[in-house]
Amino acid sequence: DGGITQSPKYLFRKEGQNVTLSCEQNLNHDAMYWYRQDPGQGLRLIYYSQIVNDFQKGDIAEGYSVSREKKESFPLTVTSAQKNPTAFYLCASSSTYQETQYFGPGTRLLVL
Amino acid sequence: GQQVMQIPQYQHVQEGEDFTTYCNSSTTLSNIQWYKQRPGGHPVFLIQLVKSGEVKKQKRLTFQFGEAKKNSSLHITATQTTDVGTYFCALDTGGFKTIFGAGTRLFVKA
C-alpha cells in the first residue's frame, strides 16, 4: 500500500518543549515538503528537500528544524522557539522537485 | 516577489448552482496545479495545466489556463454536496518553490 504517512494524528506540546512530527513515504519520491495551515487559511511552506541530505528553508522556517537522512523520511521538529505552534501540519512529497505533490493526512499540533 | 491572488475567499451556493474560482499571478507561470481539500482532510491533487489557453475537464469540473499563462479558473457545473471543500491553486513559476494560493472555500446547501 503506497503512500505518505504522518504521525501522530494529534500532538500536544507543553510550553518550552520540542516536539517532532514524523513523515514517511514509500513512493520513491525525491522531493519532500512541510507546510503549516492555520484555521481557514492556505498553506505556508516551512521547509523543503529536493534530495536526500539536502533541505532548504521555506517562507516560515523560524522555530522549526528538519533532517533528511533517508529518502523515505523527512521529520519536522517544532522547537520551543516557535511561539505560536498551534496549527495543522502537512507533509507532502513529489517525484521530483515541483512536480505534483502528494499530501499526508496531517498532524494537528496543540499547545497545552 | 511572486504574488498570487485567489478569489473569492468564500462562496455559498445552493446545490445545483454553478461555482467558479479564479487564480491570478503577478508573473508568467510554467504551469499551474489545482488541489481540493475536504473539511478536516488534506489537499488532493486534481489537475495540472501547462499550455497557454489549455482547457481540461473532469466530469463536472472545467479547468482553464489563461492565454498569457498568468491566470486560471476552476468551474464546477451543477454543484453537489460532495463538492464542499477548499480549492487551492498552486503556481510553478520555474523558480525554487511552488506557491499555493489562499484557497476558495465552497459551501453547498442542499
- pLDDT reading at B1 higher than 80: no
Over range B72-98, report the average pLDDT: 90
Q: What's the pLDDT tens digit per position in A28-60?
A: 999 999 999 998 888 999 999 999 999 999 999
Cell of B71: 491566470
Which residues in B lie closer than 8 A to residue A102 (C-beta atoms)? 45
Over range B27-36, report the average pLDDT: 92
Over range B3-17, report the average pLDDT: 95
Longest dimension (CA), chain A: 38
Task: Give the number of other Cβ atoms within 10 Å of residue A42's Cβ.
Answer: 20
Task: Give the number of other Cβ atoms within 10 Å of residue A5's Cβ.
Answer: 13
Cα-Cα-Cα-Cα torsion B73, B42, A88, A12, nearest 10 degrees, comes to: 170
Task: Give the number of other Cβ atoms within 10 Å of residue A112's Cβ.
Answer: 7
Beta bridge partners of A23: A6
Task: Give the number of other Cβ atoms within 10 Å of residue A60's Cβ.
Answer: 15
Q: How is residue B16 annotated by DSSP?
A: T
Q: What's the pLDDT tens digit per position in A56-74?
A: 999 999 999 999 999 999 9
Q: What angle do CA A86, A33, B82 make, to 5 degrees?
A: 70
pLDDT tier at A98, thresholds 50, 70, 90: low
Tell me if B92 and A104 make a contact (CB, 8 A cut-off).
no
Query: What's CA B6's distance to the chain center, in Å?
Result: 8
Among A71-80, B2-11, B52-61, B73-82, the least confident range: B2-11
Q: How many CB pairs under 8 A join A and B?
A: 41
Nearest residue of B to residue A32, measured between CA atoms? B97
Q: Does A85 touch chain B (CB under 8 A)?
A: no
HSE of B104, CA atoms in CB hemisphere, 13 A: 25
Q: How many residues does chain B have?
A: 110
Which residues in B lie closer than 8 A to residue A105 (C-beta atoms)? 41-42
Predicted confidence at residue B95, as pLDDT, reads 60
